[in-house]
Amino acid sequence: MAEPQAAPVSSLPAATEHPKPHTKKAPELPILERKNWLIYLLYVRRDYDECKAVIKEQLQESHGLCEYAVYVQALIFRLEGKIQESLELFQTCSILNPRSADNLKQVARSLFLLGKHKAAIEVYNEAAKLDEKDWEISHNLGVCYMYLKHFNKARDQLNNALELNRHDLTYMMLGKIHLLEGEMDKAIEIYKKAVEFSPENTDLLTTLGLLYLQLGDYQKAFEHLGNALTYDPGNYKATLAAGSMMQAHGDFDVALSKYRVVASTAPESPPLWNNIGMCFFGKKKYVAAISCLKRANYLAPFDWKILYNLGLVHLTMQQYASAFHFLSAAINFQPKMGELYMLLAVALTNLEDIENAKRSYEQAVALDKCNPLVNLNYAVLLYNQGDKKGALCQYQEMEKKVNAVKERSTLDFDPEMVEVAQKMGAALQVGESLVWTKPSKDSKSKQRAALSGKSYSTQQPLGTNQALGQAMSSAAGYGKTMQLPPGAGASAPLAKPPSLPLEPEPGSEMSPEEPSAPTGAEEQRKEKRKSRQAAD
């Protein structure tokens, strides 16, 4: 910092008597404005203490009528977070100079910072009458309308601001509004324009990358996230998103090295630990995966994705009681998801509760629309229970889904799933109509099939789950990074997908809190009793 102005008070006469080159006497500045240059200099140097001293002196001399001193004092208060005081001072400013749009803008800005959006809009409208061509007024009006949920008005104002003067922030807010209204493609258009306008803004790049990721356009997502990471290698959100993409493609080691970079900067981030856990799961290090996922769950007990992953890993480890526990917890937080019910049913099958497993499958089939695995698992269960007819029914449902998926994309099916499906087909004698591209193996005898079906009903989810698990982990990854709920601290300037409500932060996730402490007190008392007896 600059050294404090050497006694500005004493230097003041010098400053005023500074002989100007022309012979005429320097024009006498009115006493009110005499030291504005100094106030400004100190303020932009962030020498706030000195600045306050000069302002105080100036206000005493001018009996509080120096507009600029009051204005800067208010700015300093705002920087210190004392919005209420700064609002009062800005109001003083606008009384001193009612024709200035700046003062009105600042009053409105203070109101906005206090959360009084309606009042802020009124004052901004006043300011807009004084100054027609100011992008800030339009931009801030847009933001205020956004808080009040008047999205149409907000959009118009922000577009207006963009026409007057283009700024990154305006683009950000506009994109946010589109996302809040659920228009992904429009939001992407906006962000594209924004990135063209300022290609080095990591926030914009990250957000755009995440949007592409949600649409499944990996190529473009990778490009934008990579750019963001080039400009800012330690960017937490971009790293997490990039890592989850690598995970989705099975590069677990690369993803882990990415995560290692951010693990030191954000050691208590649930999404990060969730993704690390799923990396270990992909590398078949199940115990490490469980410990990472459990840490994530301890830090964020309301996050269904972590619970889902925990259930999945426990199914893989064939610990069905724990798997049931985590999956049912996940269902409590996210009741509208087919795969959860399917996995729950798999756990129930292994816990020998066939009735509830059937119910759970029913629920899963009712909720799920595009995952053939659900029907296949259900078919296997029914077949093992001897209900051939129901099994056939589910099998046909599965075929429908498979056909639909094949038409839509060239998704590769998990080979294990295909194999089991063929066996089922053979067992149910419908194998001819199959849609699988792979040549089917020799159909086995029925008993074998039944047996294999039996054995598969236990192992079945394993292989397929890997694909699912990876998909989940990445989904969890970008779902989380996408909107990083306030609990997880980040406040991505993005809409929240409706699937996840506001997730409060894991409050005081305390555990044996005080109770563990009194243990000691208790012991102490015990010892005292003993000693008393001894004394007796």
Partner 1 sequence: MVYVDEIDMDEEGIAEMMLDENAIAQVARPGTSLKLPGTSQGGGPSPAVRPVTQSGRPITGFVRPSTQSGRPGTVEQAIKTPRTSLTARPITSASGRYVRLGTASMLTNPDGPFINLSRLNLAKYAQKPKLAKALFEYIFHHENDVKNALDLAALATEHAQFKDWWWKVQIGKCYYRLGLYREAEKQFKSALKQQDMVDTVLYLAKVYLRLDQPVTALNLFKQGLDRFPGEVTLICGIARIYEEMNNISSAAEYYKDVLKQDNTHVEAIACIGSNHFYSDQPEIALRFYRRLLQMGVYNCQLFNNLGLCCFYAQQYDMTLSSFERALFLAENEEETADVWYNLGHVAVGIGDVNLAYQCFKLTLVNNNDYAEAYNNLAVLEMRKGHIEQARALLLTASSLAPHMYEPHFNFAVLSEKVGDLQRSYTAAQKSEEAFPGHVDTQQLLKQLKQHFAML
Which C-beta is closer to partner 1: that of 165 or that of 445? 165
Residue 321 within binding range of partner 1, rule CB under 8 A: yes
Give CA separation, 509 vs 38, 93, 217, 342, in Å: 51, 47, 38, 30
What is the C-alpha to C-alpha distance for residues 364 and 158, in angstroms, rounded to an integer? Answer: 44
Question: 10-69: which residues touch partner 1 (CB under 8 A)?
Answer: none
> Shortest distance, CB of residue 298 to partner 1, whole angstroms?
7
Provide the token pair at 477.
Answer: 């990854």
What is the C-alpha to C-alpha distance for residues 203 and 505, in angstroms, rounded to an integer? Answer: 23
Rule CB under 8 A: choose which of 122, 159, 333, 401 binds partner 1: 333
> Shortest distance, CB of residue 135 to partner 1, whole angstroms?
11
Residues in the chain: 536
What is the C-alpha to C-alpha distance for residues 486 and 492, in angstroms, rounded to an integer? Answer: 9
Rule CB under 8 A: choose which of 301, 390, 431, 463 binds partner 1: 301
Provide the token pair at 143.
Answer: 């933001």
> Shortest distance, CB of residue 6 to partner 1, whole angstroms?
28
Question: 126-165: which residues touch partner 1 (CB under 8 A)?
Answer: 136, 147
Region binding partner 1 by CB under 8 A among candidate stretches 14-22, 190-198, 449-457, 489-497: 489-497
Closest by CA position to 381, among listed 365, 367, 405, 368 = 365
Residues 6+ apart with CB under 8 A from 60: none
Q: Are 155 and 174 in contact (CB under 8 A)?
A: yes
Question: 59-98: which residues touch partner 1 (CB under 8 A)?
Answer: 78-79, 81-84
Region binding partner 1 by CB under 8 A among candidate stretches 208-216, 226-234, 266-274, 447-455: 266-274
> Shortest distance, CB of residue 2 to partner 1, whole angstroms?
19
Region binding partner 1 by CB under 8 A among candidate stretches 5-13, 450-458, 470-478, 498-506: 498-506
* Cα-based torsion angle of the residue sequence 490, 491, 494, 498 in order, rounded to the nearest 10 degrees: 80
Residue 284 within binding range of partner 1, rule CB under 8 A: no
Across 396-463, the runs of DSSP E, i.e. the strands, are none
Q: Are 154 and 142 in contact (CB under 8 A)?
A: yes
Q: Amino acid identity of 321? A: A
What is the distance of C-alpha 91 from the center of its chain? Answer: 38
Residue 489 within binding range of partner 1, rule CB under 8 A: yes
> Shortest distance, CB of residue 84 to partner 1, whole angstroms?
7
Which C-beta is closer to partner 1: that of 200 or that of 253? 200
Region binding partner 1 by CB under 8 A among candidate stretches 34-42, 105-113, 377-385, 466-474: 105-113
Q: Which residue has the tokens 């996302």?
A: 179
Region binding partner 1 by CB under 8 A among candidate stretches 19-27, 382-390, 474-482, 517-525: 517-525
Residue 109 within binding range of partner 1, rule CB under 8 A: yes
Which C-beta is closer to partner 1: that of 90 or that of 383? 90
What is the C-alpha to C-alpha distance for residues 527 and 536, in angstroms, rounded to an integer? Answer: 14
What is the C-alpha to C-alpha distance for residues 131 and 263, in angstroms, rounded to an integer? Answer: 49
Residue 491 within binding range of partner 1, rule CB under 8 A: yes
Provide the token pair at 363.
Answer: 């629920």
Helix extents (H) in 264-387:
270-282, 286-299, 304-316, 320-333, 338-350, 354-367, 372-384
Rule CB under 8 A: choose which of 204, 329, 379, 467 binds partner 1: 329
Rule CB under 8 A: choose which of 330, 374, 398, 449 binds partner 1: 330
Region binding partner 1 by CB under 8 A among candidate stretches 61-69, 443-451, 459-467, 496-504: 496-504
Rule CB under 8 A: choose which of 299, 306, 345, 418 binds partner 1: 299
Which C-beta is closer to partner 1: that of 277 or that of 453? 277
What is the C-alpha to C-alpha distance for residues 432 and 445, in angstroms, rounded to an integer? Answer: 16
Q: How many Cβ atoms are within 10 Å of 233's Cβ, its own excluded?
A: 10
> Shortest distance, CB of residue 370 to partner 1, whole angstroms?
26
How many degrees, rounded to 5, is the angle at CA 52 between CA 48 and CA 54?
A: 120
Identify the three-state secondary structure at position 322.
helix
Which C-beta is closer to partner 1: that of 113 or that of 164? 113
Which C-beta is closer to partner 1: that of 63 or that of 149? 149
Rule CB under 8 A: choose which of 159, 328, 396, 443 binds partner 1: 328
With b meaning 16 or more CB within 10 Å and e meaning fewer, what string describes 397-409? bbbebbeebeeee
Residue 104 within binding range of partner 1, rule CB under 8 A: no
Question: 402-461: which residues touch partner 1 (CB under 8 A)?
Answer: none
> Shortest distance, CB of residue 313 to partner 1, whole angstroms?
12
Rule CB under 8 A: choose which of 307, 347, 427, 500 binds partner 1: 307
